[in-house]
Chain A
Amino acid sequence: MENSRNKLKKTLTIYMAITVIIFLSLLSKLFFLQVVSAHAYKTLSDDNRIRMVAKDARRGDILDRNGNRLATSKPVFAISITNLGSKNQDEVINRLVKIMDMPEVTPEVIKEKMKRHFRLYEPVEIVKLPWSAEALQVITKIEERRRDLPGVIIQEVPRRYYPYGSLAGHILGYVGKISKDELEKYKQYGYGMNDIIGKRGIERSAELREISNQVVGLRGKKGVTQMEVNAYNHPVRKLVEIPPTPGYNVELTLDINMQRAMENAMNEIIAEIKEKNPKAGAGGAVVLDVNTGAILAMASKPDIDPNDFVNGKYEEKIDYYHKMKPGPWWNRALQEEYPPGSTFKMITGIAALEFAGIDPETKITCTGQYWKPPYIKCWDVHGKVDYYKAVAVSCNTYFQYVGEKVGIENIVKVARQFGLGQKTGARDIDSESKGLLPTPEWKSEVRSNSVNQKYEKKRQNLEKKYNELKAQAQTAEELERLEKQEENELRALEARYKIDYKFATEWHPFNTYNTSIGQGSNQYTVLQLANYIATFANGGKRWKPYLIKRIVSPDGQIVKEYQPELVQTVEISQDTLDITKRGMEAVTSPGGTAYYLFKNFPENIKVAAKTGTAQTGRAGDDPESDFHGIFVAFAPADNPEIAFAGVIEYGEHGGSSAGKVAKAIFEEYFNLQEQKFSQKDANATQ
């Protein structure tokens, strides 16, 4: 017995040893998990239970110079449902559908949305209701039956709204869902996949700006709610809640009343012109404060309505935006280049007075065309014209003559000082075009390439032809003959090339004539023309146009006030400017091309202007009948405040098209339309 006891003791020791090994392995693994890797598992555990739910901030408003709200955010009711995972979810959905009673909200639609929703802890948006009586009714009904609708949430979410519709649409721009590229570009500012971002215009340029190490702009800061969720991704409780910070308001230099006057006039005139010429329909216009460069109004037709891009109408109007011709997409005040026509003549005139010593009193005789080839025509037979009359009646003959006298170099020098053919550098706008100021250097560079290419091709064809012929040659004599023939032809080609090259690349007198009267290759944006006139009007200070006056924080503090920025002061004598101004005043005086427009204006508000009619230079247009109407002006002439430039495509005459827009603008700015209105009212009462 004692023997077997000992044996038992031995086996039990082995048994116990195995047990201890088993427990030690469990303990060491437990130690590894809970002591060594505890931190990693803690993170995993938090990943399991914590979710972030972002709350959008209210975007800042865009205001005009008088505080009118041009872009704002309107509350929209978002009705959402949280997936509580309860068994009577279907019942809740059915009840909600019945209460809402909207054809587009069906149980199937809701269930489909819930199925596609991955973040179960976030409510699923069923529908967005804009603020209206009907919407309020639906909301009230849902609130009344709150207890029967667990998980249904009504949230007020901000949605962009542009109260003035298409007015200033190109300037304001619009917002939209962030793109992949934008997401990459603005990575450091913490944008998310589904964020809204300014796409165009002020919405884009004022989206965010870094001002003294502080990021300000229309975009606010998103709020965040940290939620604890359970294994089914259903929210359990809120852990942390950081409310969103609203965006900054942006005040523009724009005056919405002037903008309205301008756009209404443009609409009216363009509609009229379109009846005569179906190619019409487009135009651009700009009004600048001559003393600062501030943009007071800027329009492009056809227009865009920013609301279309936030409320879904864009899809319906896709033909309007992308198929119609001319289309609304580009901002014609910035991005289209137009020949300036006669509005360029002041440049030629200033150059002639300043550098050629032309006496404004000296008269030349206009016989209806210039006396040198190619005998470019004038509008009329003006007879004896001096400088003032030449401006007033826009005499082509006179300006060709003085242009030739002063030479292209001086004309270019003056044009450059007034900013033509260069970007204005305007702040806060979408990209602008550069335009084109033709110079001898430009001509030589551009043309030499095309001529060279043309002749290189001809030479290659010739060689190819002879190579083929030579390959077929039977005798040595024939080969010799062919070689000689080829050499002759090449020499002839070379000679022709030299003549062509010289003609094409050299600046010819007629190039100067054309440039002098604003034809030829002159191409400028409306903004450039406006800035040129503003510079002229204020006595030679070229300002950088701008649109944003200041940025104001949500609590009303001005965080940035933008100051006018001087680009250049022109080096032209005051005499020359004054003389030319008198010429522009003569335009609106009896006998001038724009007299009829402003004849009813009071004495103290004298308008200085210049009309322009320019061959469109577009392929397929008739150079004899298709003209753009161009108009530039400033007022009051003796103490200028605002400058205008406008182009109405296919407007035929500057005065009768863009001139009318200028008239509407001045009437609005100087409060001259009251009389008209009161008269109308009187008629109505009778």
Chain B
Amino acid sequence: MSTATASAPAAAASSRVDRRLVNRLGLFLGLGGITMLFAAFTSAYIVRSGGEDWTPLELPGAVWVSTILIVLSSGTLEMARRRFTGGALGAFRSWCAVTAALGVGFLLSQLNAWEALNEAGVYLQSHPKSSFFFVLTGVHGAHMIGGVIALLVLFAAAALGRLRPERSDAPALTAIYWHFTGGLWIYLLAVLSLLG
């Protein structure tokens, strides 16, 4: 089993490690955990939607505004990421800011949806579907807030000259996370409008 290669001194393991690969794998595993969280919510939703007290809920129009904003934001973040790899840090900063603004817009639009429901007399505890609507949008919104914070950190780091395109993978990682939360929203919207 042993293959002696005594001539070549063993390379220090730390230098053999590809940090980009490490960070990406870490992120993907984290996204796996988040996926399981929403899978659990979905299974609860499906079970609960079979109950006799399940009441259909017309989704407020604001969720479609949210959807447009979040799709746009994925596009602008992709612009930011490409400018970053191209070394255009100024343009990167601008696109980051636009994306963060769209993210905040998404969150405000979601709040708007909550208010629209409340005005129609539908609250968290009104019936099971409304409960799920508030829980799912709330937990998803919490993950969006995380993404917005990451964007602001990126923006500040770029402004302070701490980000170097040849070394930092942070914009690409943030983009993966952002696209994931965007996709997650489309998925939740599909669940909320198609199932039950």
A binds B: no
